[in-house]
Amino acid sequence: MNIFDSIKKLFTKATGQPQKGEREGGLQPMEKFLIVGLGNIGPEYVGTRHNIGFRMVDALAASVNEDKGRQTEWEDRRYGFVTRISVKGRQLILLKPSTFMNLSGNAVRYWMQQEKIELPHLLVCVDDIGLPFGQLRMKPGGSDGGHNGLKHIAQVLGTQQYARLRFGLGNDFYSGQQVDYVLGQFPPEQEAVIPERTKETSAAIKTFCLAGIQMAMNQLNRKHGTGSH
């Protein structure tokens, strides 16, 4: 800072004029993002393939809170369990809907309205049987791919153009067994891979919030061989 900047700072402080990065009344509020992990509430669903969305947001919260020497506390709020973290000046509201999967849109709409979240600041973390197990992909929008949670979110929001982070489950099941497959547990060899994958999803979500979806897609999708689109 040179002498002229110093004089300007003293002048604006003395006159009460807002400085750069401020507005009247103080510093501008942090940008807010809603990060939604899809899944089903209840002990019978813990650890199931369909609940990998919950595990992605759990891992994200843990990655930030452990660095700060604290545990994650989820609040039981309307339509879901909520916790908040901050990442380099961004506020992330993490949501695990308690509506069950096929009514997820109710929770997403409520918390977007409650927190005044714009659509480009919404990211939904979801399981995907259309990708091989452990493959990750971020997209800015698109079809629901037969996923009931994504389908309901699109119905409620009136658009399919919201970002989603997909975690591949694979499709190693016979015709008619899809429900049993997604509500089943991961076998031990796949379970062992999940912590490393959720580290990657945590990093991708942070990039989404800090640098935008294109950068997050470029980094994540190319690594997993799914392209940048």
Judge whether 136 lies within some domain: yes
Count of structural domains, the chain: 1
- Expressed as residue numbers, the domain containing 92 is 30-223
State how far the Cα of 97 lies from the Cα of 25, in Å rounded to an integer. 35
Based on the residue annotation, tell me whether 152 is a catalytic residue of this protein: no
pTM: 0.85
> Among the options 50, 121, 147, 152, which is catalytic?
50
- In a domain? residue 101: yes
> Is 9 inside any structural domain?
no
For the segment 146-194, what is each residue's pLDDT rounded down to a tens digit? 999 999 999 999 999 999 999 999 999 999 999 999 999 999 999 999 9
Domain assignment of residue 204, yes or no: yes
Q: Quick one: which of 25, 73, 20, 35 has its CA closest to 165?
A: 35
Residue 23 forms part of a structural domain: no
Return the CATH number at 102.
3.40.50.1470
Question: DSSP H helical segments within the chain, as ranges?
Answer: 3-15, 52-67, 104-115, 148-157, 178-182, 188-191, 194-211, 213-223
Any residues with CB less than 8 A from the CB of 180 and at least 6 apart, and which?
173
* Residue 228, in any domain of the structure: no
In a domain, 62, yes or no: yes
Give the tens place of pLDDT for each residue, 51-99. Answer: 999 999 999 999 999 888 889 999 999 999 999 999 999 999 999 999 9
Whether 5 is covered by a domain: the verdict is: no
